[in-house]
Structure formats: C-alpha cells, structure tokens
Structure 1
Amino acid sequence: MDTFFISHGSPTLSIDDSLPARHFLKSWQQKIFTEKPKSILVISGHWETNEPSVNVISGLNDVIYDFYGFPKPMYELKYPAPGAPELAMRVKELLVDAGFKNVKEDKARGLDHGAWVPLMLMYPEANIPVCQLSVQTNENGTYHYNMGKALAPLREEGVLIIGSGSATHNLRALRLAADDGSAIPWAQDFDTWLKESLVNGTEPVRGLVTESNGLTV
C-alpha cells in the first residue's frame, strides 16, 4: 500500500468544479490508485495537539466545518465514513512502541476539512473506515519523520496513509500575492527545497527551516 501527501487547497475544493485538483481527486480510484484500502489513516495539518492523538470513533465520523465565511452549501456537505477504532488503537500501539509514550485517544472528534474534503472526492461512497492522527507543531521535522517510520508497518496491513495539508500555508500572504497567480518567492524556494530533498533522499529537517512573513515551516 502506497503512502500519499495531498495538498487539499482551499475548502472550496468541495464545491468548485473549476479547480483542477478537484478533477484529479475525483479520478483517484480510476487513474491514480485502483487498489481499495482496508482503512484510511489521515494526518491533517488542521489537527494540532501537544501530544499525538487519534480519533477513536466506533460509529460514523462527523464532519468538522473548520472554516469561516465560505458559501452556505459547503456547510451542508456530509461525509459519513465509518470510524476506524481498531486502526486508531493500532496507530497508538505502533507509536507507543516507538517511544511516543503519551498518545491520546479522542472519542468525540470528527474529520476536519483536511480529511473529509479530499476523501469525499476520492472515495465518495464513504464506505471505508477512516481514522485521523494529529500533528505536533511544537515539534520539528525529525520528530514527525520518526512518527512516519513508526507507522510504516500499516502499509503492509492494507492501510492507506494520507498526509493532507500544504507545503506552505499563509492565507494573509496569499491574499496579497501577485494577480498573475505566480508563487510567492519564499514559498517557491521552500517548495523547490522540499521536492529536491524528497527526490534525493536528503536527511530529515533537524529543527525549523525558516520563518518568514508569519509562516514557520
């Protein structure tokens, strides 16, 4: 089972058919990844906690409308995917065994838009159990790299692991960006560094990479 990072873009991805990413995600099962996973683990940039947390949901996942000021139809969308409590406990087991001692269980939290927006396009049937794992923004790249290593056995257990977010994220800077759609220079620089690091197998980040325009990565 492969592992993917998806830039989920704006929440309007859920309704705006003019966005190319929307069509890419809707073609997921036919063109990108034809194998049906047993369950899905999403690590979203929109769930930040001090300690690793998994949502342990026995029934259907609720959706969290964690965005503001968008068109009303977006707040009426649903993605009733079943929870994945067994996967959640397996994630906790792997992390604890790898040295992440304080792994929390959240039995109430639903799926944030970093999870349900792309999944509603990728797997509209909402018939695959989904679990979320939080990120710790007070920790560095090495910490999360080691978290990924701990979760690697899930790939052999039929679990599709999806990282969902953006390489950079600064809405204030985006609103002030050039009208021609060109990337902000510091964002382009980081994106280039990230691509080269992944392609060339560079060692994980050991600390903060940069802090610019209110964005820390």
Structure 2
Amino acid sequence: MKIVDEMIKETFFITHGNPILTVEDTHSLRPFFENWSKNVFSKKPKAILIISGHWETHYPAVNAVVVNDTIHDYDDYPAAMYQMKYPAPGAPKLAKRVEELLKKSGYETVEIDQERGLDHGAWVPLMYMYPEADIPVCQLSVQSHLDGTYHYNLGRALAPLKEEGVLVIGSGSATHPLDETPHFYGDMANNVVSNICDRYEEVIEYESKAPNWELAHPYPEHFYPLHVVLGAAGENWKAELLHTSWDHGTLSHGAYKFTSI
C-alpha cells in the first residue's frame, strides 16, 4: 500500500470487543480486523486519529509521543496478553493539529499528554488492522461527564483532518451493557444506517430519543466515539453497517462506515 495525499472521505466506528480476542483465534471480530485493508479500507493513511472509550479525561486530550507504548489496561487475563506489543509510531504533529483545530472551534483547554501510549481500545484492533505498526497513531480522549451533542461537535471541529490524509476511527462498543440490550442496538442500527444526516439527531440525542439506552450503555464512554466520528464525517454523509456479531448475546460488535457525499 502507498501513502496517499488525496482526501479521505470516510470515518469509522468500530467495536473493539473483549481484548481476549488477541488469544482467541476464533473470536468473531478477528476476521473483520484482519481483513480491514482488503475488504474495508485499502488506502494507507498518513496518520490515524483514534478515539477510544478507555481514555476518559475532563478536557479533550491527545497523546504526543515518539513511539506509542502498549497499555495493558485489563486484569486477570492470560499471561501472553501482557507480553503483546504494538509499537506504532506516535504522531506529535497530528496531536498539535488536533489542538489547533479544537481551540479554533472554541475548546479553550486541550491537554497534550507526552507520556501516554495506546490503551487496548486502540492497540488491540489496530494490531490486526495494520499489523506492520508503521502508521503514526494519535489517540484522543472522551469526556464521559458530557453528552452526545458535545462529542458530535468535537468531531465536527476535527473534520478537516480527513482532507489531510488522516483516518479518524472511533473505538468503542455498539452496546456495552450490564444486561440484555438487543432492542436498543436494533434501533440504533436502523437510525444510523437507514438514514442520511437528516435524522442524525436520533443518535446524537440518544438520551431522549432511543428506548432502553440505559441498558445498552449504562456508562456512555464506549458510545461517545461514535458521536465523534459522526461529527468528523462532515455535514453530509451516508452510513454503512460493516460488521455485526454478538458476544454472550449482549455485547454488540457493530461497526460502521460514514462516507462524505
């Protein structure tokens, strides 16, 4: 794959799933991630901005490091999982660009973290999507004490990155439940995939418009990466469901593509 200069039209939301997929060859998400460059997105971006539900901060924060450390932010998993590394180069220039765009849009405080690496919401899927680990990666945090509209507007501020060859990926979970939640997921899939931007507010304002959302996302940090990539998709976009599978009948592995039109 060659590095390309032309604009990237797509943004993506992926469910990163349980990190156990790194040692379970039959996990339903593995083929989706492993065939990413073949079946989903064949271009090689200049850099990747990934928004993970596993980094929560009070203000927007981006990491700016030379090489990303691999954060093993999980407990009581097989020993082999703590030896895994994904040493993707960092993207300090992209971090600075994110800061610039956000401040231009009115975000007065943007934190630059010069030590943090990639949590499992970022490195686990990327390890299979881009196994060469040769694309600079910058991670952006979520502000889980704020709402979906805030995160959508955060994404809108970052939309120009696509014109600069940056691939914007939201990594969370279509559902991240404590109990059964297929009703909510069905509503979300219908609202996102079956509609263009004229009804995007049904996802953005999910607290008032989506039934059973508290069962699907009792804590919203895994849902907000979707809002960011919706915003980054721009004013007009079309949505496509790329993958769906389930873990124990409650954790939905939904993945979506949003293409500017």
| The two structures share one fold, judged by TM-score above 0.5 | yes
The answer on whether the counterparts of 1:49 and 1:136 sit within 8 Å (CA) in structure 2 is yes
Task: Write out per-residue CA displacement over residues 145-202 of structure 1, whole angstroms, 9 at most, x where no aligned residue.
Answer: 00111111111110011100102213x54xxxxxxxxxx2xx2122122222223232
Q: Distance in 2 between matches of 1:85 and 1:208?
A: 35
Task: Write out per-residue CA displacement over residues 115-141 of structure 1, whole angstroms, 9 at most, x where no aligned residue.
Answer: 000000000000000000000001101
The answer on whether the counterparts of 1:79 and 1:126 sit within 8 Å (CA) in structure 2 is yes
Partner of 1:122: 129
Q: Distance in 2 between matches of 1:215 and 1:118?
A: 23
The answer on whether the counterparts of 2:175 and 2:217 sit within 8 Å (CA) in structure 1 is no
Map residues 197-212 of structure 1 onto 2, 5 A cutoff.
197-199=191-193, 200=195, 201=197, 202=199, 203=201, 204-206=203-205, 208-209=207-208, 210-212=213-215
The RMSD of aligned alpha carbons is 1.6
In the alignment, which of 67, 79, 90 is matched to residue 72 of structure 1? 79
- How many residues of Structure 1 are paired with residues of Structure 2 in the alignment? 203
Partner of 1:215: 218
**5+ residue gaps in structure 2?**
1-7, 221-261
**5+ residue gaps in structure 1?**
174-183
Report the CA distance shift for 1:156/1:16 in structure 2 as closer, same or farther (over 3 A): same
Partner of 1:181: none
In the alignment, which of 168, 192, 204 is matched to residue 186 of structure 2? 192
- Structure 1 segments (4+ residues) deviating >2 Å: 204-214
SS in 2 for 1:46: strand
SS in 1 for 2:204: coil
Per mean C-alpha deviation after superposition, the further-off stretch among 14-23 and 126-135 is 14-23
Partner of 1:169: 176
Partner of 1:29: 37
Kindly indicate whether residue 60 of structure 2 is the aligned counterpart of residue 52 of structure 1. Answer: yes
Partner of 2:93: 86
In the alignment, which of 93, 98, 103 is matched to residue 96 of structure 1? 103
The answer on whether the counterparts of 2:174 and 2:185 sit within 8 Å (CA) in structure 1 is yes
- TM-score norm. by structure 2 comes to 0.74
Partner of 2:113: 106
SS in 2 for 1:126: coil
SS in 1 for 2:185: helix
